[in-house]
Amino acid sequence: MSDPTATPAAETAFVPGTDPDAGSVAPASSGRLGGRQLIIRIVIGIALAAAAIEIPLYSGSTTNKLLAQALYLAIAAMGLNLLTGFNGQVSIGHGAFFGVGAYVSGILVNDHGWSFYTTLPAVAVVAFILGAAFGFPALRVKGLYLALVTLGFAALVPLIVTKYVKGSGGTTLVQPPLVTTPGFVPYSIVPKGGDDIWRYYVALMVTVVLLVLSVNIVRTRVGRAMIAIRDREIAAEAVGVDVARVKILTFALSTAYAGLAGAVSVMIDGVAQSGQLLYFQLSIQFLVAVVVGGAATLSGPIVGAFVVVLLQDQIKKHSSNEVLSPALFGGALIGLMYFLPDGLVGGARRLTRRLRPRPST
């Protein structure tokens, strides 16, 4: 049986030794420059980590909840980015898998007495299996046809939820108790009464773990096989890549991310809910976060998620017209993509390359 991930020929579809997040080849004679870039990245990483840890300590509960919402949006966007950005499959139905994760977590907590933390592995497994099952029929359709199939799934899930899920008062709302700070956490880390801070930290930890997982997936032979399929599917299959297996695996991983994002949303928002338009709107938000941040980049979905959430919040605060707010948001996105068609991260990398001194010849 052929190697389902990659062969030497397939690996050349994405140049080995390059940064998958950058999407470009590093100069072969830039050892000193590469070392300087590594130092800069480490410094920026430490600064961002310190900011991520410290900001909630000096913010109110409303702001902390908003930041945590951006984090679970980032988780779902990272999963969609694996599928769309790195593997080339288009989905506008990931909101449905988000909803599945939310309901699995909420029901396990409410009806079966699980703690929120123990529901996370269960949610990941359920969403992964469901994504793999959905991935088989998805193999027969591509492009816009696959997008329509996933959209149909997003429309189907609310009907299933309405029929089989009965939460508080006989509705489909499932409202588990809010997660509180464990007793073993010292006040020096989370101040007394800072349950919103703890929930933010949990969302942050899940995001970091899944980001590290994404980095490791993309930089392995599996990741190179994903990219080879995206770029030249026929060529990848010709050199021994098991296209069907890689596509199904990618779809399943992507839906597992979306399910975990849904579980985290229940912890942050305190409710699992459904609606005919809700999952479609969520799916569009995930896609917007990927595109705004930069598709096929590792950090892009996180940047895009924060931009989407914070921009929506600011527009709502400064616009009293509920009809005008979505129009302003759409206009801002159009302007952003006009000037930065490859997203914020892609635009920043392009600017960095232009400012980088050219090696002397």
* Average pLDDT of the residues of the chain: 87
Question: Which backbone phi and psi does 272 adopt, to 5 degrees?
Answer: -110, 130
Q: 282: domain CATH number?
A: 1.10.3470
Question: Which backbone phi and psi does 30 adopt, to 5 degrees?
Answer: -120, 45
Residue 361 pLDDT level (bands cut at 50, 70, 90): low
Does 93 fall in a domain? Answer: yes
Does 125 fall in a domain? Answer: yes
In which domain, by residue range, is 90 found? 8-15+44-292
Does 180 fall in a domain? Answer: yes
Does 357 fall in a domain? Answer: no
Does 24 fall in a domain? Answer: no
Among candidates 96, 93, 73, which has minimal Cα distance to 138? 93
pLDDT at residue number 12? 37
Does 286 fall in a domain? Answer: yes
**What total number of domains does the chain contain?**
1
Among candidates 184, 221, 204, which has minimal Cα distance to 264? 204
Which of the residue ranges 22-26, 140-144, 178-182, 308-312 would you say has the lowest mean pLDDT? 22-26
Average pLDDT on 268-280 reads 90
Does 288 fall in a domain? Answer: yes
Does 283 fall in a domain? Answer: yes
pTM score, two decimals? 0.89
What is d(CA 26, CA 19) in angstroms, rounded to the nearest whole number?
8
Two structure tokens written together for 318: 């400064």
